[in-house]
Structure 1
Amino acid sequence: MALTDEAITKIRGMIQSGELPPGSRLPPEQQLAAQMGLSRSGVREAVKVLESARVLDVRRGDGTYVTSLAPRLLLEGLGVAVELLRDDTLLEVMEVRRMLEPVATGVAALRMSDDDLDRLAALLDDMRAAADDAERLIGYDTAFHRTVVAATGNETLTSLLDGLSSRTLRARVWRGLIEGNSAHTTIEEHHAIYLALRSRDQLLAHASALLHVNTSEAWLRAVLAAPDGQGDGGA
């Protein structure tokens, strides 16, 4: 493992220094190992690790390339990690969402296109039509918030919030809302966010999103505290 870690550090250093820019091809394994003064096995394992992290792209019969290093690639594994978090840590994820999502929504109020706003209006209609169906609501809810955050034009922020807003987290919130007969109220919170965005009111959009995340967090706490919500590890 020590040799693999050293190989990972050296390859990352070559990428960070610009010696291996995005899209470039790595030297053949034997040459790369000699260049770094490491064994071929250590380099091979390092490449596997960096491939899993979406830093490298191994193309069989062609070679190994540095990926685009775009945030959507490098942060792709965050959602998988969130899915595996246990109950108490899911609440920490909601806290992070509360820090980021309202700010992103406020920024989106100044940057959203009319087409984006029309899409949100259509998603609101879909949400109302599916008010008693958690699975459909999860999809519409995800699309709604993704459309809002993507309008910021900040790919890192979009990828980060995509990962934090996992399907597991949304499913538990929506099931709690439906069972508590509060789904319609939360859908209206989405409507309030939409109206603030449509009016290009940054402060109102921020406040509306903060209220919505707080509601979701409160319901998640209620779901996790329920006897039948115990011991499933948040999955």
Structure 2
Amino acid sequence: MRPVTSSDEPPHLAARERPALRGLLTERIARQLEHDIRAGALTPGAKLASERELAQQYGASRNVVREVLRRLEAQDLIDVQPGRGSFVTSRGARTYDAVYRADRPTARQLIEARIPVEVEIAGLAAERATATEIQAIERAHERFVAAPDAAAMARADLGFHDAIAAACGNPVLRVMLSSIGEMMFEMMLRSNSDPAIGEPGVPHHPEILEAVAARDVPLARARMREHLMLGLRTYGADLDVSLDVMATRHLERLLTQS
């Protein structure tokens, strides 16, 4: 491992942590720590290494490590205590996401679950969305288009689907979608890291938005269904690979290529 500089940052970070790579590196470290917590390698009450030690361990800047810790705290996997450090909680193991992951769901299974939920959400959004909510969907799409890397694009993709759910007027449906959000992110990371999949899927966002804004319920439902069915036609063997394995593999490929 290379020594850190007096600024506490590994000397190669200026080259590695360009804006387009920072999000990918953040995702990789967050996924590894989350895996260690979920698998029990880091038990409830355990104290994580310091920011500086984690930066050294993963070859990242402390800014990236701080973003990782914020992400884990938002997932209720750790408590960050100023002046004391970061500690693993016992609450994260009880989340919906943790329960679902025990069965190692695949992309095919996630698509099968998303179709009935999100087709209904799209139809209700077309029927009920206010002008303000439609503007929120438009802004979410703009963030997706402007995203600098596959990880940021996947997060923005998730935000686009959440904005439609927020506009459907049924908070139960939005909660249902949110409960599988991290698995959706893993699938979106796969889609947005492969031009053969990402490019055919991108036009679906403005098409769905157009249908919702036009208050065309059948069209909104049809376009959402077509958008979700894309994965069944293009994922190939990845359809039946565990989502976490699939996403990790593609994240590592992106970092290696960069």
Which runs of no fewer than 5 residues in structure 1 stay unpaired?
A: 1-75
Q: How many residues align?
A: 155
| Distance in 1 separating the partners of 2:116 and 2:191 | 22
Letter in 2 for 1:82: Y
Residues 30-109 of structure 1 mapped to structure 2, 5 A cutoff: 77-88=95-106, 90-109=107-126
Q: CA deviation at 1:177?
A: 4.2
Q: CA deviation at 1:96?
A: 1.7
Residues 58-114 of structure 1: CA distance to partner in whole angstroms, max 9, x if unpaired? xxxxxxxxxxxxxxxxxx9323333444144x5223212111211111011011111
| Distance in 2 separating the partners of 1:168 and 1:111 | 27
User: Partner of 1:232 in structure 2?
Assistant: 245
| Distance in 2 separating the partners of 1:193 and 1:152 | 13
Does the 8 A contact of 2:197 with 2:234 survive in 1?
no
TM-score (norm 1): 0.57
| Counterpart among 140, 152, 167 of residue 136 in structure 1 | 152
User: Partner of 1:174 in structure 2?
Assistant: 189
Residues 114-133 of structure 1 mapped to structure 2, 5 A cutoff: 114-130=131-147, 133=149
Does 2:210 align with 1:195?
yes
Q: CA deviation at 1:215?
A: 1.1
Change (3 A) 1:204 1:187: same
Does the 8 A contact of 2:126 with 2:215 survive in 1?
yes
Change (3 A) 1:124 1:222: farther
Does 2:185 align with 1:163?
no
Taking only the aligned residue pairs, the percentage that are identical comes to: 21
Residues 8-59 of structure 1: CA distance to partner in whole angstroms, max 9, x if unpaired? xxxxxxxxxxxxxxxxxxxxxxxxxxxxxxxxxxxxxxxxxxxxxxxxxxxx
Does the 8 A contact of 1:124 with 1:190 survive in 2?
yes
Larger Rg: 1
TM-score (norm 2): 0.52
Q: CA deviation at 1:201?
A: 0.3
What's the C-alpha RMSD, in Å, of the aligned pairs? 2.9
Does the 8 A contact of 1:85 with 1:234 survive in 2?
no
User: Partner of 2:39 in structure 1?
Assistant: none
| Distance in 1 separating the partners of 2:232 and 2:189 | 11
Q: CA deviation at 1:225?
A: 5.6
Does the 8 A contact of 1:172 with 1:223 survive in 2?
no
| Distance in 2 separating the partners of 1:188 and 1:231 | 26
| Distance in 1 separating the partners of 2:187 and 2:246 | 12
